[in-house]
Chain A
């Protein structure tokens, strides 16, 4: 079997005295769509923050694309993050500039592509998320769902190898949510992207997930394929999918 593209071993992390993640060991392989599940407060977002290097674990190892994220140097981290896209829960767009500038930021900072081609790429990315018409809009002029879609366009601006998405379809209408799910499948199929998605949306999970990681009180309760998760006899997992 190929080497995992994302791997954690005995990962523990928390805030001050509180341990949120406890001995979490996971492997995610290239071209997979992995969905991280669990009830509120189980450590999903903390896991995501540790994986993208925004939080340091108290114990254990994290490896992304062959880089040790615990002891990574800043310049190496910045280079690595060109290959990693992150969609934050609230979008995290820069509010003082139009969404087109938001999407252009990584392209301007990390490539030598001429400006007018950057504009074309930005238009394509915004069109892919259904926001081509809102090119000149400020984030404050968009609804919550539209802001999230604009943030997704920014996260995929550089066609990263890995996309981390925190609740990408939460708060979206079913039609838009479905089109975003399809976009994620397209990104996986055409770009060979690996996706790690935190979501509670059952319809989305069923549409896109290859693999499920179920967290409970900071521990991995289940890790396996979607079909296995649907058949699981673990009460928490069974309960989650039977809602």
Chain B
């Protein structure tokens, strides 16, 4: 093609650059080695940073292809702008070398180990301060046990009652329909009684608490962590575990047995309502069947389970709250992880305790 010239418009800016870029690219494609392209700036009165970056880029690309691309007739003002925003100013981004797959494996294993270690340490700390703070109330935040008991226990009661009532209804209906062909509907009462007391009452209450109170605890501690409130406590010589977390532990340990008792009662009542309305089982007969199957052993099982579940919820939500990093998004991630891990560990603990108590 030989020599080509491109006359630039009056304004070389973010609006005109795509067109200029396409025209120069076309000229470069049509050119061969040792051809020259002149970019004529004689009409340019304004050039912005996008203009500077683009023209320098096309010049570099053309030169790499052996085509000489030159800038001509630059006014002093335009030349000054070109110098002020030249890509020679560009700093190199800090590069990361791609690690080997074994490094990935090693890194993840190490991270999991550290997480597990921190979790066990936190569990040990909470257990220790849980005992110590019983005798040294000054370690705890004043009035916090009552406030947390109200939040974890009282305000959670309506939703826990509703969920357990509905589960009682559904369970009773499903079991009763299966038993009807054998004329054994009366056993619905025994099954509902046993399942609600030993299994569903504590489990459903714990799942609701993990979702409701666990997430709130993780978010609260996480936000405090981000705004350096935890650091401020430490700098004042106050250990955040007895001060912030132990009151929550006391509150949940105080309220969860009561919540489980109410949840179980309401669940059984839901079953009795269906028993009476669908399977014609008298309330009195239903009650007698429940009492017949009920042993202290089931009540103790429910109590032990609820205490274990409560401890899991507090330790997991505090762990994720204390490990929040970065920004508000980190709080969201910690909250989600706290709920997912709490529910998972509650179900694992429920399975293990079930095996322990009934094998």
B-contacting residues of A (Cβ < 8 Å)?
A: 95-96, 100, 107, 110-114, 117, 120-121, 123-128, 130-141, 156, 158-159, 186, 190-192
A191 cross-chain contacts in B, Cβ below 8 A: 48-49, 81
A158 near B14 (CB under 8 angstroms)? yes
B90 near A127 (CB under 8 angstroms)? yes
Q: Does B308 contact A (CB under 8 A)?
A: no
A134 cross-chain contacts in B, Cβ below 8 A: 93-94
A135 cross-chain contacts in B, Cβ below 8 A: 93-94
A141 cross-chain contacts in B, Cβ below 8 A: 326
A132 near B80 (CB under 8 angstroms)? no
Q: Does B50 contact A (CB under 8 A)?
A: yes
B95 — nearest CB in chain A belongs to which residue? A136
A132 near B53 (CB under 8 angstroms)? no
B46 cross-chain contacts in A, Cβ below 8 A: 192
Docked pose: A112 CA to B94 CA in angstroms: 28
Q: Does B327 contact A (CB under 8 A)?
A: yes
A112 — nearest CB in chain B belongs to which residue? B18
A125 cross-chain contacts in B, Cβ below 8 A: 49
B93 near A133 (CB under 8 angstroms)? yes
Given contacts A114-B21, A159-B14, A190-B85, contact A140 B92 (CB under 8 A): no
User: Can you name 9 A-B pairs with beta carbons within 8 Å?
Assistant: A95-B329, A117-B21, A117-B54, A120-B54, A125-B49, A132-B93, A158-B14, A159-B14, A190-B80
Docked pose: A135 CA to B80 CA in angstroms: 26
B91: which of A107, A117, A127, A159 is its contact (CB, 8 Å)? A127
Number of interface residues of B (CB under 8 A): 32
Docked pose: A46 CA to B85 CA in angstroms: 33
A111 near B89 (CB under 8 angstroms)? no
Docked pose: A130 CA to B81 CA in angstroms: 18
A-contacting residues of B (Cβ < 8 Å)?
A: 13-15, 17-18, 21, 46, 48-50, 52-54, 57, 80-81, 84-85, 87, 89-94, 96, 325-330
7 nearest A-B pairs in the assembled complex, by CB-CB distance: A132-B91, A140-B326, A135-B93, A95-B327, A159-B48, A112-B18, A190-B81
B329 near A117 (CB under 8 angstroms)? no
Closest chain A CB from B346 CB (angstroms): 30
B81 cross-chain contacts in A, Cβ below 8 A: 190-191
B89 near A113 (CB under 8 angstroms)? no
B86 — nearest CB in chain A belongs to which residue? A124
B13 cross-chain contacts in A, Cβ below 8 A: 159
A133 near B92 (CB under 8 angstroms)? yes
B50: which of A137, A159, A190 is its contact (CB, 8 Å)? A159
Closest chain A CB from B160 CB (angstroms): 34
A111: which of B18, B52, B53, B90 is its contact (CB, 8 Å)? B18
Given pairs A124-B52, A159-B14, A191-B49, 12 additional interface contacts (CB within 8 A):
A95-B328, A107-B14, A117-B50, A117-B57, A120-B87, A132-B91, A132-B93, A133-B91, A135-B94, A158-B14, A159-B13, A190-B84
A100 cross-chain contacts in B, Cβ below 8 A: 93
Docked pose: A2 CA to B14 CA in angstroms: 26
Docked pose: A117 CA to B91 CA in angstroms: 16
Given contacts A112-B18, A120-B57, A159-B13, contact A136 B329 (CB under 8 A): no
Given contacts A128-B89, A136-B94, contact A121 B326 (CB under 8 A): no
B49 near A139 (CB under 8 angstroms)? no
A128 — nearest CB in chain B belongs to which residue? B89
A124 near B85 (CB under 8 angstroms)? yes
Closest chain B CB from A98 CB (angstroms): 10
B15 cross-chain contacts in A, Cβ below 8 A: 111
B14 near A113 (CB under 8 angstroms)? yes
Docked pose: A185 CA to B327 CA in angstroms: 33
B94 cross-chain contacts in A, Cβ below 8 A: 133-137
Docked pose: A96 CA to B94 CA in angstroms: 19
B85 near A113 (CB under 8 angstroms)? no
B53: which of A117, A130, A139, A156 is its contact (CB, 8 Å)? A117
Docked pose: A123 CA to B94 CA in angstroms: 12
B53 cross-chain contacts in A, Cβ below 8 A: 117, 120-121, 124
Given contacts A159-B14, A190-B80, contact A140 B327 (CB under 8 A): yes
Docked pose: A107 CA to B96 CA in angstroms: 26
A159 — nearest CB in chain B belongs to which residue? B48
A126 near B91 (CB under 8 angstroms)? yes
